Amino acid sequence: MRRSITVAAVLASLAVFAPAAVAVPVAQHTSARAAACHRTLKHYPVLRPGAHRPAVRTLQCVLNDDGYGPVVVDGAYGPQARAAVRRVENGFEGPAPHPGRINNGFWVLLFGQHLPDRDLSPGQHGPAIRTLQRALRAAGGRLAVTATFGARTRHVVRHYQRSQGVPVTGVVDERTRFFLAMGGVIGHQN
């Protein structure tokens, strides 16, 4: 009798956890879709709630990367994406100037927050340099996203530093990372 109660309890617990087991392939599918995201764009356009375009997929992927999701990556700037953007805006010191609007500064902020807490300098390569190059491109810099910190990246970093009023060194130091993480752009925000 005692054994049948134990077996029944085990079977009941399996029934309770069965939906979680079914959810695993969905999560794997979601991460596979996230891996297929294109985070590098030729330019990072202004987006508003209701937009349906490929750049929205990039926004959704970056929001998920930065921990503001979960957001379904479907190319539609709908309620889930808006809620994630609102979570970013809630971190601003004051109210968002144009709530829900994604401009060049917002793109820079998203990529800039993802930079490592260390200096980035010529000769380095890898994912951190790729993220830096995306941030610089979103800020208005003209450069290819190659994941290699070469002469062109150094030139754009120096231009960015000059535009932000920080020492022009060509090395992405703490001050430069600060302005990238705050959404500083070259020129003016669109």
**Structural domain count of the chain:** 3
Tell whether 126 and 190 lie within a shared domain: yes
pTM, whole model, 2 decimals? 0.81
Say yes or no to pLDDT of 106 above 90: yes
pLDDT top residue among 187 and 167: 167
Q: Which residues pair with 47 in a beta bridge?
A: 102
| Same structural domain, 187 and 176 | yes
76 phi, psi to nearest 5 deg:
-115, 125
Q: Are residues 18 and 51 in the same domain?
A: no
Given 102, 135, 158, which residue is the final one in a domain? 102
Residues 44 and 121 in one domain: no
Query: If you search the block for the tokens 């970013």, which residue do you land on?
Result: 88
Helix axes 127-139, 151-164, angle to 10 degrees: 50
C-alpha separations of 96 from 42, 86, 89, 107, 179 in Å: 26, 9, 6, 14, 17
pLDDT tens digits, one per residue of 49-97: 999 999 999 999 999 999 999 999 999 999 999 999 999 999 999 899 8
Q: Which domain holds residue 31?
A: 1-36
94 touches 111 (CB < 8 A)? no
Quick check: 9 and 37 in contact, CB under 8 A? no
Q: Is the dihedral of CA 183, 124, 163, 169 positive or negative?
A: positive
pLDDT band at 190 (very low <50, low <70, confident <90, very high): confident
Last residue in a domain, options 102, 119, 146: 102
Q: How much is the mean pLDDT over the chain?
A: 85
